[in-house]
Amino acid sequence: MSNIIDFRSGNLFDKVYEHLALPKSTLLGTRITKRMILENNDLSSSDKRLVNDVVQSVEWLNTLKAETLNIPTYITETIEYIEVAVLKVSLKIDQTNRGKLKSTAKLFHTLIPYPVILLLELNEEIAISLADKRINQADSSKLVIEHFYNSQWFDVAGLNSNEIEFLNDFTLKKVSSVNYYELYQNFISMLLALETSYILGSYSTKSSRNNNISKNKLSSSQEDKVDNSDNSLFNEMSNEEKSNLLKELTSLEAELTNIKNKLKKEVQMNEKLHLNVQARRVKQAISAIISQFV
């Protein structure tokens, strides 16, 4: 890969945002005050606490839509991708707020009525969050969230090689311009490739460039444009299928940990044998899932 950015020096947020390479035509730069969020939305008490106690500031950085970027919209009976918002949410400098990533990301994905590229900042760390949205069948004027995709917190001192490759991949220059749905799905594919890299030990840039990640949702005419050069079973899956597989793996790993903890405390030989059989079955299930990644 040419012109690789190291990302392990300087301001990480500034580097990641600059590398996104969003055209000036998409620039919005509008600050959203916490008062606006609290007064204009029907928030739960827990969400109000998030806004008041965790969030420092919010800025709507860019708006990607047909008028600002020459990429077609994508609308079906269930999907509406007419615009992508890019937001920066800065959290108050408190290390306990690192654990508020998922809840904060969920709040802002819910508040913004478009797919969002959410960049979260905490002191010198950043995280990236995306979310699939579909049309609410009960109210077609609203979108509902199907899946959340969150990175871990990144900091310049702790970046590993896989994360550096991911951050180099995470740019408008490397995603589809077929339509906004494809564009956003490509970004999601990158986050899934990063999550998979923690399991396999390497980040696959090729999977993030393939357009077949949304093969189950595109029309046949658009499917003709898909690049099927990567025959990996995992890379042929839709983002939803990849996400479900990774969730299943996480669940199985948690189950295995629970069984191992029980084994350490168990004194009955028969029960130990039973737990060992359970552990073996879970390990086999884990191996079967991992085999689909390569």
**Euclidean distance between CA atoms 147 and 127, whole angstroms:** 17
- Number of domains forming the structure of the chain: 2
Q: How confident is the model at residue 231 (pLDDT cuts 50, 70, 90)?
A: very low
Is-contact 7 15, C-beta < 8 A?
yes
Least confident of 85-99, 153-167, 182-196, 218-232: 218-232
Does residue 7 form part of some domain?
no
Cα–Cα distance, 85 to 98 (Å, whole number): 23
Euclidean distance between CA atoms 38 and 290, whole angstroms:
44
* Selected residue with higher pLDDT from 167 and 233: 167
Same domain, 156 and 288: no
Tell whether 165 and 247 lie within a shared domain: no
Residue 5 lies in a domain: no
Residues 82, 157 within the same domain: yes
Could you tell me which residues are beta bridge partners of residue 128?
119
| 93, 123: one domain | yes
219 band by pLDDT with thresholds 50, 70 and 90: very low
Indicate whether 1 belongs to any domain.
no
Tell me, what DSSP letter sits at residue 182?
Answer: H
Within 13 Å and on the Cβ side, how many CA atoms surround 169? Answer: 24
Q: Which residue has the tokens 């890299």?
A: 197
State residue 210's pLDDT score: 54
Residue 108 lies in a domain: yes
Q: Is the domain of 56 the same as that of 174?
A: yes
Select from 190, 207, 229 the last residue of a domain.
229
Task: Indicate whether 215 pLDDT > 80.
Answer: no
H or E element in which residue 205 lies:
helix 205-209
pLDDT digits (tens, 9 = 90+) for 1-52: 457 898 999 999 999 999 999 999 999 999 999 999 999 999 999 999 999 9
User: Do residues 242 and 222 both lie within one domain?
Assistant: no
Do 254 and 210 lie in one domain? The reply is no
- pLDDT tens digits, one per residue of 233-271: 777 888 888 889 999 999 999 999 999 999 999 999 999
265/258 Cα distance (integer angstroms)? 11
| Residue 294 pLDDT exceeds 90 | no
Residue 220 confidence (pLDDT) above 60: no
Measure Cα distances from 157 to 9, 13, 153, 163 in Å: 8, 14, 12, 12
Structure tokens at 201: 């030990």
User: Which of 189, 211, 229 is a domain's end point?
Assistant: 229
Q: In what order do the strands lie in the sheet with 116-122?
A: 27-32, 55-65, 83-91, 116-122, 125-135, 143-150
pLDDT at position 2: 54
pTM of the model: 0.86
CB 172 within 8 A of CB 210: no
Q: Are 197 and 204 in contact (CB under 8 A)?
A: yes
Mean pLDDT of 43-68: 97
Encoded tokens for 80 = 């509406």
Structural domain span for residue 250: 238-294
Residue 117 and residue 163 in one domain: yes
